[in-house]
Structure 1
Amino acid sequence: MGAKDAVEACGRCAMSSAADLTDGRSPFAGEDVIEVDEGELRAVSAHVVALGRLKARLNAWASEFTYGR
């Protein structure tokens, strides 16, 4: 495929190809999978949410300080 060929940048083709390989079967059929309860996930990721909010506030402050808006 050359650089000038029209291709989709979204990756949909690759996902369609991967899904076609499974023939409609789950790739995890017969395998043990790890499932985490939503409440447990929220409990262990609270620091990520807090740091994300802190980052947003710092970015807003830096933009206001830099551009005076």
Structure 2
Amino acid sequence: MRVKDDVEACGRCAMSSAADLTSGRSPFADANVIEVEESEVRAVSRHVVALGRLKTALNEWARALTYGR
């Protein structure tokens, strides 16, 4: 897949478009912003942390089995 010559591959165009959409105002200034307490995020993301640790352990086990280390 080849990047077109007239399009920047770095993503700058997308960032410029997103910045243009805000028209100079902060997207967080409205009352429509949803804020979640850190404790609530931690409570609902425990399984994500546990699965991440399990994945790391399985990767280490598979690497040791594969390469004999």
Counterpart for residue 54 of structure 1: 54
* SS of corresponding position for 1:10: coil
Name structure 1 gaps, 5 residues minimum: none
Counterpart for residue 42 of structure 2: 42
For residues 4 and 49 of structure 1, do their structure 2 counterparts lie closer, same or farther at Cα, with a shift above 3 Å needed?
same
- Pairwise CA RMSD: 2.3
Distance 1:43 1:17 in 2: 35
For residues 60 and 6 of structure 1, do their structure 2 counterparts lie closer, same or farther at Cα, with a shift above 3 Å needed?
farther
Equivalent pairs, count: 68
Counterpart for residue 64 of structure 1: 64
1:27 shift after superposition? 3.8
1:6 shift after superposition? 6.2
Instruction: Report sequence identity in percent.
Output: 75
Which amino acid in 2 is paired with 1:18? Answer: A
Moved over 6 A (4+): none
Q: Give the TM-score, by structure 1 length.
A: 0.74
Name structure 2 gaps, 5 residues minimum: none
